Every structure is written in C-alpha cells, then in structure tokens.
Structure 1
C-alpha cells in the first residue's frame, strides 16, 4: 500500500497556512483544526496587517506561492486560518490525492468553495468550473508562476476575484461533500459588510452552491430569502468576473508580464510548526 493511501497528508511535499499576526484567536483555532484532521507539520505564514485588507490577503497568498517555488516543490497545499473540514476528511483527502495523480492537467484544485459556474462533472466527486474563495486549495508550481506573473494586471481586486479570473473555468473542486468550508468567524477581508460570516453564512453558501438544483430546494440551513440572495450572487459573479477581466485588458498591454516583479510587500514571516495530537 502506498503511504499516501494510508496517510493522504504524506502526498503533499509542502502544506502552508496563512494567519494575521493580530489574529491569535484564529491561530489557536486553525492549529487545533489541522491537528484534528491528522496533519503533523505546516509552514505558517504570519502576515502583518495592512490598511488595505484585500491587498494584504493577496500579498499573503503571493508570499506563500513564492515560498513554495523557492522550495522547488511540484505543488503546494494552502489553507487560510478559518478552514473547517467536513465529514470523513481522510476519505475525502484520499480522493483528492487520487485525483491529483490522475489529472496532471488540473492546475488548481479547490477543497471547497463558492461554485458559481459548473462546467463539467469529471466523476462522482469532482467537477470543473468557476469557483470563488481561497481557504483551501492545491496549486501546481507552473500555475503558481502564472499567478505571480499576472498579479500586476489585477491590482485592486480581492484574492478570490483575482484567482478566479486567472483560473477561468479550469479550476476543479471536490464536492459531495466539499472537503472544507470556512468556519464562522469575522472576515479579514472587506466582503462581509453585513457581518454574515460570524454565524457561518459563507460556509453554508458554499455547501448550497455545490448542490444540484433539486437538492437546493431541500436545503434547510438558510432561510428562503438568503437562498435567493445566493442565487443572485451566483449570477452576479458570472457577470462580474467577465467585467473585471475586461478591465484588466488595458493593464496587460501596459505590463510585460514576463518581466513583472514577483515580489510582494506582505511583511510577514514563515514559521515551521510541528502539530501534536
């Protein structure tokens, strides 16, 4: 038996997690969560808070991608500090590992997310499409280089918007169930003007977005009016992504992405953390 069949975490040469230095509460929560699901070691990126919170989030992810490329790994698994695993996480992760082995063409694999366009059902547990959120994903090294090179063309956007524009409809996601959602917590970004996620709204919205139309009719974790807002959101992001991609066009003409600086001003530090049972 391959070691990854018994311990799927051994498949990943590098596992990283992003955490603001000012969010010790989330640090404790994510260490507990990653220990619970069996991870033994992570590289934690403790980021300095920035006035522009969305830029800070992008910088943190870019810093992790730069770090991974410097280590020479073929792919990296990245978590944000509000990640929450669902169901039988070991069986779900074994399927993720098997998928990674069989699908070299998939550049970016979400372990969960807000799915606003379903393009192709790949098998019983995976689909390809347009996905928002960056709380848990696997990215291959060549695609990490692409995101870093494209970054100057997408300044002023949230990391979720930036990633889904560059990924187009080529990202994949594990569903039935989503491996991870986002835990109920105050957001570090600017999207949650209604403070919805303090009650876990985004995680529920992710679950809802992964369901079939028939399954959505039976979904009882959110009231009808909130489900209608999610449906509006699914349509909004299809249009919004296209508009933002068009806006980035003139920037791409002004930048030579092949010579763009890959640096970022995240101002954080990388810490190797051994997790114990």
Structure 2
C-alpha cells in the first residue's frame, strides 16, 4: 500500500470497536459514525459483558482483549475504538500524512486520533504531534510490539488510561484530533459524578477541543491572560 494514494485506513490490519453486549443503541450510533468515515464494513465490534463489581477492571480487560485478538490475527498495526466515539474535523489527508509518517520507518507505539493531553511538541510532520498523554482511550492506533507490551500488563487496580500514561511517554497524536467522545451518559458507575460535572461544561468533546487548543497555543493563551490581568490592574490603579 502507498499511504499517500490509498484509503489511509487500509494501513491498519484490524479495526475494533469495544461495546457492551446489551448496548445495541450505542452500536447503531457507532455504525452511523463509521459509515460516514467509510469504514463500517471493516470495523469488528468486540462485545463484552459489564463487570458490575469493578467497571474500570472491565474496561481494562476489554482493551486488552482487543490486543489479544489483533495479535492472534497476526496484525502488525490496528485501531481500537470505543462505541461512544464521534468524528469531527476529519480530513482523509490528515490520516494519510499520519500513516505516511508511521510507515516511513518512524518508531511509534500509539497514535491517538483524540485524547486529553498534558502537552505536545512537533515531529517534523505537520499532521503528527508528539504528545504527553493524559487520559481517554476512545480512538487510537497500536503498533504490534507495543500491543504485546500492553497485553502483558496485569490488572493492578488502576484505570486503563492511567496504565497507558505510566507505561510510556512516547505517544503520537494526529493534528488536529478528529475523534471525540459523545456527550452520552457514561456506563461506568465509578465515574458518574465526574461524568455529570463534565457534561455540565459541554461534555468531553468540548473539553478535549479546549485542551488541544490550549496546548497548541499555550504561549499566546498565557500572554493573553497576562495582558487582561495587566489591563485590569491598570484600570484599578
């Protein structure tokens, strides 16, 4: 495959979407999203049962199940979605440039199509940034070697995205991010309070957009705030 000329999703050997077995409503919405992206026929839904005793453990296990399925299938690189994913700002040229970057001998572990970050830096490719990962795992690509490393991680009582944050600091993200979590109510009872708080402020989609904007324009945001504070100080004085 030549990433610059073919469907960029063809770079990935498998595409998975995690979904609770009884959430047919979410799968229908996800199918619509995937249809808009032209990948509906390629996405395999990985159906899991809810872990009522520990939802975070269930989420952790479901992502590791995707790793196992991909490795057993002989995949070299694959994509994992969660069924509340929605797409915004997607341009196939973004993904084409990103997979070209990955296929040109670049060493990579995970490529996020959307997440929360603590910082970012340039890679030399304007469509790919190096990120300091913070949270969320609703849409990302995995390199086989790193997928094997993820699969070897035991459950230690921490959420999946916390484990990812501690496992490596060498992750990539598309520029811009184009995958977001919908504003639907979470299925994770352990996060109901946090989920209500997030949705009061526009939901994770808006929070992710603001997070990305801040880290892309951190200096100007800080200078703007300083200018406002200085102006207020002058007016008060």
**Range of TM-score over shorter length:** 0.7 to 0.9
Q: Which of 1 and 2 has greater Rg?
A: 2
- Checking the alignment, whether the CA contact within 8 Å between 2:3 and 2:97 is kept in structure 1 is no
Q: Partners of 2:58 and 2:105 in 1: how far apart? A: 32
**Structure 1 gap ranges (5+):** 218-277
Q: Partners of 2:116 and 2:84 in 1: how far apart? A: 15
Q: CA deviation at 1:174?
A: 1.1
Change in CA separation of 1:14 and 1:156 when aligned onto 2, cut-off 3 Å:
same
Aligned length: 213
- Checking the alignment, whether the CA contact within 8 Å between 2:119 and 2:132 is kept in structure 1 is yes
Change in CA separation of 1:83 and 1:89 when aligned onto 2, cut-off 3 Å:
farther
2:104 corresponds to: 102
2:93 pairs with one of 70, 87, 91: 91
1:158-237, aligned counterparts within 5 Å? 158-167=159-168, 169-175=169-175, 177-189=176-188, 190-194=190-194, 195-198=196-199, 200-211=202-213, 212-213=217-218
Change in CA separation of 1:36 and 1:73 when aligned onto 2, cut-off 3 Å:
same
- Checking the alignment, whether the CA contact within 8 Å between 2:95 and 2:174 is kept in structure 1 is no
Q: Partners of 1:163 and 1:208 in 2: how far apart? A: 22
**Structure 2 gap ranges (5+):** 223-237
Change in CA separation of 1:144 and 1:7 when aligned onto 2, cut-off 3 Å:
same
2:149 corresponds to: 146
2:76 corresponds to: 74
2:156 corresponds to: 155
The C-alpha deviation readout for 1:19-55, integer Å capped at 9, x for no partner, is 0112222111101100111103211101101111111
Where 1:188 maps in the other structure, the secondary structure is coil
Q: Partners of 1:215 and 1:85 in 2: how far apart? A: 27
Where 2:119 maps in the other structure, the secondary structure is strand
Q: Partners of 2:67 and 2:204 in 1: how far apart? A: 25
Q: Partners of 2:3 and 2:212 in 1: how far apart? A: 30
TM-score, normalised to structure 1, is 0.71
Q: Partners of 1:58 and 1:4 in 2: how far apart? A: 34
Q: Partners of 1:71 and 1:80 in 2: how far apart? A: 20
TM-score, normalised to structure 2, is 0.82
1:31 corresponds to: 31
The C-alpha deviation readout for 1:176-195, integer Å capped at 9, x for no partner, is x2121111111233334141
Change in CA separation of 1:192 and 1:31 when aligned onto 2, cut-off 3 Å:
same
